[in-house]
Amino acid sequence: MPASSAGLLRFFEEELKGIRLRPEAVAIITIAFVAACIAAHLYRIGLI
């Protein structure tokens, strides 16, 4: 069965401009942000 793009494949592996972060770093930053939001909420209601 022929490809819908006439057999042309495009790969986006060339170097792009901008910030590049590893997936592990993104996960750690996300977890830290969630923890900070929970801590701020607990501080606001007086549990910390």
- In angstroms, the first-to-last Cα distance of the chain is 63
Q: Report the candidate in 22, 31, 14 with the shortest Cα–Cα distance to residue 39.
A: 31
- pLDDT at residue 30, as a whole number: 98
Q: Which structural domain, as residue segments, surrounds residue 38?
A: 22-48
- Specify if 5 maps to a domain: no
pLDDT at position 33 over 80: yes
- Specify if 33 maps to a domain: yes
- Specify if 48 maps to a domain: yes
The confidence band for 20, taking pLDDT boundaries of 50, 70 and 90, is confident
Cβ atoms 39, 48 nearer than 8 A? yes
The count of domains in the chain is 1
Cβ atoms 42, 48 nearer than 8 A? yes
Mean pLDDT of 1-8: 60
- pLDDT at residue 14, as a whole number: 65
pLDDT at position 41 over 70: yes
